[in-house]
Copies of this chain bind each other. A is one copy, B any other.
Amino acid sequence: MISTKGRYALRVMLDLAEHADEAHVPLKDIAERQGISKKYLEIIVKSLVEGRLIEGISGKGGGYRLCRKPEEYTVGEILELTEGSLATVACLSCGAPRCDRASECRTLPLWFEFDRMTHDFFYGKKLSDLLATE
């Protein structure tokens, strides 16, 4: 289940891509256009800045801007950064303690396969792919 964090992050990135001509886009504008609380977006945007996907400039005339061109972002990296992980079952998460039944587990291969499919799907999509849709 993908949470609002990942979904909103994607919408912020798309909003920035659509307003890439403006030097910097204030979060206030994004919040208004997207109909999302600015306060909540602050949290999400913080992750995006820390992950070097966007950069922010303070002060009047400041705001946020993409660091790269839209075709140079994958949806996967945006989601993974804001969601923490794309892993679909706890067994496969990074911090998860290694299950001692793993070797004989009948279901683990299924989760592996699904995880792989999910990863390939989202890393195969570029931000620009979503932009192009009309």
Contacts and interface: CB of A to CB of B under 8 A. Distances in A.
Interface of A: 1-2, 4, 7, 10-11, 14, 35, 75, 87-91, 101, 106-107, 109-111, 113-114, 117-118, 121-122, 125, 130-131, 133
Contact of A114 (B90, B101, B121): B121
Contacts of A35: 101
A interface majority secondary structure: helix
Contact of A89 (B2, B117, B130): B2
A32 to B, nearest CB: 13
B121 A117 contact: yes
A98 B48 CA distance: 28
Given A14-B107, A110-B125, A121-B114, A7 B89 contact: yes
A50 B110 CA distance: 25
Given A1-B1, A2-B88, A89-B2, A10 B121 contact: no
Nearest to A131: B106
A25 to B, nearest CB: 16
A10 B14 CA distance: 39
Contact of A106 (B11, B89, B106): B11
B14 A106 contact: yes
